[in-house]
Copies of this chain bind each other. A is one copy, B any other.
Amino acid sequence: MAGLPATTAKTRRGNARRLRTAIVRAGSQQIGRLTAAMEHAAEAAAGTTTPGPEDTHDPFRLVPRWHFAMLNDTERNEALARAIQEIVRPGDLVLDIGAGAGLLAMLAARAGAAKVISCEVNPLVAEIARQVVTAHGLSDVVTVVPTYSYNLQIGRELSRPADVILSEIVDCGLIGEGILPTMRDARTRLLAPGGRLLPGRARIYGALCESEAIHRLNRVDTALGFDVSLMNVVATAGHHPVRLSTWPHTLLTETAELAEFAFADGPLDEGSAKIALPVQRAGVAHGVVAWFAMDLTPTVTLRNDPGNPGSHWMQAYIPFDQPRHLAAGEVHEFTLRWSDTQLRTA
């Protein structure tokens, strides 16, 4: 099918306005559904209804399923155990940001911390952590606080600035769960002078990637000759997870370091880096496949590179806005931008 007939500027403006209105309607619909589910959940909490067979504890995926893969990731757990044993000293006051099931907090207690304040923004996860900590007899040492670390105050939740801050709020692309703004805030307000941070540093690596299959997880052009590319208005603009080994792909360049973050004293603001990569194989680069190496301590590093399929973290895929045709031997330049939670290309 040839291209669609041209539209007038007025039609285009009207269509854009209607899409923006539809976003609000779609969001309101979600709010309505969630409200109905929570009214039902509130009745169950009040004991005025008997839960039915479909009333799981989590009717709306309030806790993402990846918590299970994460808690079962032995390499991650053992690295955290080694690193926490190394960084926490007997008597320390420890701040743990992102309690999850309470694992890091309990490891800090096991390492001799006098007190661990563990904050968790999801109230359901926080209650699970509280019960897990209590069941292990550690509630004298570990206090779970159901809030963002941004809301913690010295003299309130924390008696004084922490000797150690632990935070493994890291997604496939390192920054997707907000470790940059979290550490930016916490290291300034909540850490004692000379205090220690875990992770200490992290680097993002990546390579240009040709993969129609991955490209098509987040972009569409035509289907059976019909132009359905308008759907791309809801494509993910930032990075999203992919298990690279699942999809046919060719890396067109060597792996290069794309960005580095020093959590104790480096810049953690939004930023960008100009990347220049020598093209080793001619091809069509659809985007950048990226992963991290995170130094929990100087001696303990966790990685989610494609050669580590046991990691529960997939790789991060950062789409180019348009595929780029590359010739072997050229040096391809692009800009990697990072906001507080998203990796993008430009």
Contacts and interface: CB of A to CB of B under 8 A. Distances in A.
A189 interface: no
Given A23-B58, A45-B20, A223-B101, A217 B68 contact: yes
Interface stretch (A26-34, A261-269, A296-304): A26-34
Nearest to A340: B54
Given A23-B62, A101-B228, A71 B220 contact: yes
A41 B19 CA distance: 11
Nearest to A124: B26
B29 A122 contact: yes
A151 to B, nearest CB: 13
A128 B21 CA distance: 12
Interface in A1-53: 4-5, 7, 15, 17-31, 34-35, 37-38, 41-42, 44-45, 47, 53
Per assembly, the copies of the chain total 2
Taking residues whose C-beta sits less than 8 angstroms from the other chain, chain A's interface range is 35 or more
A42 B236 CA distance: 20
Interface string A191-232: 000000000000000000000000011111001101110110
A20 B72 CA distance: 25
Contact of A127 (B19, B41, B228): B19
A246 interface: yes
